[in-house]
Amino acid sequence: MVYLSPPLGGAGEIQDGRGVVALPRPNHLRAQGLLEYALILVLVAIVVVVILAVFGPAVGNMYSNVIAQF
């Protein structure tokens, strides 16, 4: 059972009977974490596009040569 217990452990600490589990995070911290993940995803996508633009034709030619041998 999870309950809020301000008198024992301080305001807003979440306890589950075994001790303090976590402090609730403010909404702006949750949004900051989501934004960081989104920025990392965008960066990875940009890197993938650049790699495909640079190496795409060479990989395509290698694939065509392998298929032509069969």
CB 14 within 8 A of CB 21: yes
Q: What's the pLDDT score for residue 29?
A: 66
pLDDT of residue 24: 62
Q: How far apart are CA 49 and CA 70, in angstroms?
A: 30
How many whole angstroms separate alpha carbon 63 and alpha carbon 4?
61
Residue 17 near residue 25, CB atoms below 8 Å: no
What pTM does this model have?
0.50
Q: What is the mean pLDDT of each run of 10 residues along the chain (70 residues)?
A: 51 61 64 89 97 92 89
